[in-house]
Amino acid sequence: MAGKANWPTGAELGAYLQTLGMETPPGSPSLTDRMEAEVQRWESETGWNPFLAESAASVQTLVPSGMVWQDLNGGYVSVDAVRWAGRTLTPGEDYWLEPSGAPAHGRPYTWLQWGIPVQGRAPIEVEGRRGYGVTIPMDAWLAVLDRAAARVLMSEQSQPGAWREVRQGSVTLKRGDAATLSDFLQERGEAAVQRYRRVRV
């Protein structure tokens, strides 16, 4: 299944809420703001920040682990250069990106395997595009949308004068049922968080 180039927008959240039979009342927080907050929550809870890869390479400075491997403190979809102790290291000789071939399998590189002893206080510089992937997997994209919709459903029904029911096709959900729908969406989103949670080496 193809991924998405961007996270869901506020407009897409609004359209999703409409399919659930709910209109957001005037004066409610911006759906764009809600989506941005949900993306930040996703990145924080999964440990991939950023999740969607940077558009251009950046440089990250790491402290040597003193071991035969080095955690990259996140994911990389590509690495242009690794520098240490005043020199640019040679890939396939001084270090290897691991897991091997990760981006070809829809995963990021997360650590370096050293071919030379890298110790001491001299920092390691990694230049490349940080992120989980160049696109967002559909299940991750939908999970962020589900979780944002769940938060809107719960926050709107707790407001004075909140809606009493929502319609979904020929089915009408009463206020208590909407809490069940919100719980369902939240749980479905949480399952995706568990699937994508970063495991550190």
pLDDT averaged over 10-residue windows placed end to end, the chain, 201 residues: 89 90 68 95 96 97 95 96 96 97 92 95 97 96 95 68 51 55 88 90 59
> What is the model's pLDDT at position 198?
92
> What is the model's pLDDT at position 163?
46
Number of Cα atoms under 13 Å in the Cβ half of residue 12 = 13
> What is the model's pLDDT at position 200?
73
> What is the model's pLDDT at position 161?
41
For residues 122 and 115, what is the distance between their CA atoms, to the nearest angstrom?
17
> What is the model's pLDDT at position 27?
56
Phi, psi of 52 (to 5 degrees): -80, 125
Q: What is the DSSP letter of 200?
A: P
> What is the model's pLDDT at position 113?
97
The model carries a pTM of 0.82
> What is the model's pLDDT at position 180?
78
> What is the model's pLDDT at position 162?
45
